[in-house]
Amino acid sequence: MLELPNCDIWLGEIDTVNSRIVHIRNVTDRPGYDNQPVFIDDGKHMLFTSDRTGTTDIYSYAVGTGTTTRVTATDESEFSPQPMTDGRSFSVVRVDNPTASGDAYTASQHIWRYGDDGKAVRPVTTTSRVGYHAWIGPGHLALFLIPEDSTQPFELVVENLAMRQRQSMAKHIGRSIHRAPDGSLTWVDKADSTEWWVTIRSIREAQPTRLVTTPTGHEDVAWAPDGTLFMAADQGFVRWTPRGERQSFPLADGPSGRITRLALSPDGKTIAFVVTAE
């Protein structure tokens, strides 16, 4: 069984005039694991992963009212919710054997589709050992794969679901994989332990392009709709623009702890982030 950290999800508003994050609030505020936020429904709701029963389920937070609702209630564990393009369902990394340990646990990790009623619909792909995923388009799914041999690096692949074809994109990757506003796939290249790069590549391109280094020791990023990138940092965030500008966005007030797992609302005005107790 996976041991999960004690962490909470916070929301804040992005003040671009004064370059800071304001109106910060803890929206989970309880002991235990609350993680992996993602906005849905035009930013009105946020899905996230929570462990409240001994296995993880997906919960929904209503941004306007502050109401939290349990979405899934299963014997399996669900992680990493991602909205699907039909607007009525979401995908997760489902752990079919959550009480197992080691390789038996990892081997039971697959991508499943769930309806907005929280019911499992079907597996999206037969590929196993999936740590994280991101939709690049309706039929293209990016997968973070965990190797059977623990001495080998993590691998990023894109599956064409209709053709049942897999394209290797990179190795030595971090967990933060995303679809960029232009439809390309982005990830953090961690091949050099001293310098991690946010990297971008279209599935039609032969080679990736390095964009910017992350703040030292941080690997979590999120895209705004205007093509700017927010990266987790020690005291808040760093904002990068396609013109190459880097700007600090500190927290006006808020938590102490390590910032991870970022998500931006579709309008780019609200940021969700996870703080892990230290």
pLDDT in the model for residue 104: 96
> Where along the chain do its domains lie?
7-276
The string of pLDDT tens digits covering residues 258-277 is: 999 999 999 999 999 999 98
Helix (H) or strand (E) run with residue 105 in it: helix 102-107
Q: Determine the pLDDT at residue 278.
A: 74
Residues with pLDDT less than 70, the chain? 1
Q: For residue 161, give Cα distances in angstroms to 99, 185, 231, 266.
A: 30, 16, 30, 26
Task: Note the pLDDT tens digit of each residue in 230-241.
Answer: 999 998 999 999
Q: In the prediction, which pLDDT does 254 show?
A: 75
Q: State pTM to two decimals.
A: 0.96
CA 159 to chain centre: 18
Interatomic CA distance for residues 190 and 112, integer angstroms: 28
Q: Which CATH superfamily is domain 7-276 in?
A: TolB, C-terminal domain (2.120.10.30)
Burial classification of residue 115, based on how many CB atoms lie within 10 Å of its CB (0-12 exposed, 13-18 middle, 19 or more buried): middle
Asked whether 20 and 247 are in contact (CB, 8 A), the reply is: no
Torsion sign (Cα): 88, 203, 192, 215: negative
SS3 36: strand
What is the per-residue pLDDT across 81-113, written as a single tens digit (0 to 9) for each? 999 988 889 999 999 999 999 999 999 999 999
Q: If you ran DSSP here, which 8-state letter would residue 216 be given?
A: T
